[in-house]
């Protein structure tokens, strides 16, 4: 009987084996919790069929249908992996595909270059306001920034260096600057100073540790006057400890309401703020930077400023080397606006187009760097500036570059 009884669990395990089978390299679990295959990425998509039918017949596609189509595409866009097909963020792909195409088309003719280089910032700003309004994270700008660095360096090696005007030392300096940019970006991408709920860390203590702590407290206070009250204090739960500051600040309910974060369930320290995109509070939050897909706060502000400064120096140096190669015997500023015969050679035209693309990106980063330096010198953060402008408590100075928030803040701890 015991042998027969022991055989039943074995049969049960064999019956459950098909449910625990590992995924092959092309299989994945979709958003509905079902097993799917990469080869079936275009099958059973009613929203896509409906959208195509409405588009062919000239009818408008509802926004809800477009969102469902994008969700389906982002869920089915995967690459094979060791533990099943891995999901690919769809916002990474447009810069990898469109940027080389646009720059090469712009190098065909001067007028095409003007149209393309003018439309690229407009499209980037449109996509920024679209994602900013929906309060969602995107890897588009991080992918655009990293791929722009790599592609500009690739064009420099393929089109500029072979002309013989760039020496080994200059190439080594440019390469070193590129690696320093990536290192600073990696440091800026780390924790900006997230605030965690202290109750969650207190709950991580095991029951045995809590019992031993309370037992030690009772032994130390045994035989002393007021031991019962001390024991009751040692037996307080973490929730009781969290209620202490709330009782102390109960006299100023407006201040508590302002500093209390209902989403993170904690009292924010001074100058901290909740990021609606990251979904967490950040110490001395400056702003959410789409170029690093993270917040800029107390812990990574220095790395962010360092990345901007190294990028500006490296970009200006690369632009100077390129213009000195394709437009000889001319100053950098003159060659940027007047370089005759540059479109006669496709290699020179592509290099000149990439120079202007780099100038546009560098000008935007220089503006951000200038605003950051002004805010640091006036001991304000970008969030405090925008809040003062929304509440109409600040005033603009020096053509809008400086904003007087009207607040007296403590010493700035940037350095």
pLDDT value of residue 321? 94
Q: Please state the rounded mean pLDDT for residues 218-228.
A: 41
List pLDDT tens digits, range 62-82.
Answer: 766 776 777 777 767 777 777
Average pLDDT, the chain: 76
Please compute the mean of the pLDDT values over residues 262-282 and round it to a whole number: 85
Of 236 and 401, the structure prediction assigns the larger pLDDT to: 401
Helices of type H across 163-265 = 168-188, 198-203, 207-221, 227-234, 238-248, 253-259
Burial (CB count <10 Å: 0-12, 13-18, 19+), residue 11: exposed
Task: Give strand ranges (E) for 249-366.
Answer: 260-261, 266-267, 273-275, 280-282, 287-289, 294-296
pLDDT at 184: 94
Read off the pLDDT band of 318 (50, 70, 90): very high
For 72-115, what is each residue's pLDDT tens digit?
777 677 777 777 777 777 788 889 999 999 999 999 999 999 99
Count of other CB atoms within 10 angstroms of residue 190: 12
Q: How confident is the model at residue 147 (pLDDT cuts 50, 70, 90)?
A: very high
Q: Indicate whether 402 pLDDT > 60.
A: yes
CB 231 within 8 A of CB 217: yes
User: Residue 227: its pLDDT value, please?
Assistant: 38
Residue 289 is among the residues annotated as catalytic for this protein: yes
- The torsion angle over the Cα atoms of residues 271, 277, 278 and 279, rounded to 10 degrees, is 80
Higher pLDDT, 2 or 293: 293
pLDDT confidence of residue 20 = 47
Span 133-145, average pLDDT? 84
pLDDT at 40: 66
- Whether pTM exceeds 0.85: no
Residue 378's pLDDT band (cuts 50, 70, 90): confident
CA–CA gap between residue 251 and residue 229 (Å, rounded): 26
Whether the per-residue pLDDT at 58 is higher than 80: the answer is no
CB atoms within 10 A of CB 138: 20
What is the percent of the chain with per-residue pLDDT over 70, rounded to a whole number?
A: 68
pLDDT of residue 225: 41
Task: Check pLDDT > 60 for residue 222.
Answer: no
Looking at the DSSP assignment, which residues form a beta bridge with residue 87? 78
How much is the pLDDT for 276? 86
The catalytically annotated residue of 45, 264, 281, 289 is 289
Higher pLDDT, 271 or 112: 112
Select the more confidently predicted residue: 66 or 209: 66
Q: Does residue 195 have a pLDDT over 80?
A: yes
Kindly state the tokens that stand for 409: 């803040």
* Stronger pLDDT, 196 or 169, i.e. the higher one: 169
Residue pair 351/322 in contact (Cβ under 8 Å)? The answer is yes
């Amino acid at each position: 009987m015991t042998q027969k009884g022991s055989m039943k669990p074995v049969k049960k395990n064999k019956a459950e084996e098909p449910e625990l089978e590992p995924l092959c390299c092309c299989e994945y679990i979709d958003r509905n919790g079902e097993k799917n295959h990469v080869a079936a990425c275009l099958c059973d998509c009613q929203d896509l069929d409906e959208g195509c039918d409405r588009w062919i017949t000239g009818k408008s596609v509802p926004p809800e249908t477009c969102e469902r189509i994008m969700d389906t595409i982002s869920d089915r866009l995967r690459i094979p992996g060791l533990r099943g097909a891995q999901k690919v963020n769809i916002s990474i792909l447009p810069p990898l595909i469109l940027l080389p195409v646009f720059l090469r088309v712009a190098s065909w003719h001067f007028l095409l270059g003007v149209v393309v280089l003018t439309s690229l910032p407009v499209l980037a700003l449109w996509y920024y306001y679209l994602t900013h309004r929906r309060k969602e994270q995107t890897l588009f700008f991080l992918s655009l920034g990293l791929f722009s660095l790599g592609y500009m360096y690739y064009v420099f090696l393929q089109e500029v260096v072979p002309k013989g005007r760039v020496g080994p030392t200059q190439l080594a300096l440019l390469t070193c600057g590129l690696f320093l940019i990536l290192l600073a970006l990696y440091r800026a991408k780390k924790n900006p100073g997230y605030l965690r709920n202290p109750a969650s860390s207190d709950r991580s203590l095991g029951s045995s540790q809590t019992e031993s702590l309370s037992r030690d407290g009772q032994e130390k206070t045994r035989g002393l006057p007021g031991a019962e009250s001390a024991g009751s204090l040692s037996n307080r739960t973490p929730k009781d400890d969290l209620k202490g500051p709330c009782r102390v600040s109960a006299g100023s309910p407006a201040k508590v309401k302002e500093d209390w974060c209902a989403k993170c369930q904690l009292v924010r320290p001074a100058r901290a703020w909740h990021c609606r995109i990251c979904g967490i509070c950040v110490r001395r939050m400056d702003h959410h930077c789409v170029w690093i897909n993270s917040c800029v706060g107390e812990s990574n502000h220095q790395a962010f400023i360092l990345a901007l400064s190294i990028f500006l120096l490296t970009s200006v140096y690369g632009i100077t080397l390129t213009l000195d190669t394709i437009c000889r015997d001319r100053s950098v500023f003159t060659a940027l606006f007047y370089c005759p015969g540059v479109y006669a050679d496709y290699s020179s035209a592509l290099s000149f187009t990439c120079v202007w693309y780099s100038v546009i990106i560098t000008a935007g980063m220089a503006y951000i760097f200038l605003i950051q330096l002004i805010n640091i010198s006036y001991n304000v953060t970008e969030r405090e500036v925008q809040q003062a402008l929304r509440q109409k408590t600040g005033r603009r100075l020096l053509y809008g570059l400086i904003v007087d928030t009207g607040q007296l803040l403590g010493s700035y701890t940037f350095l």
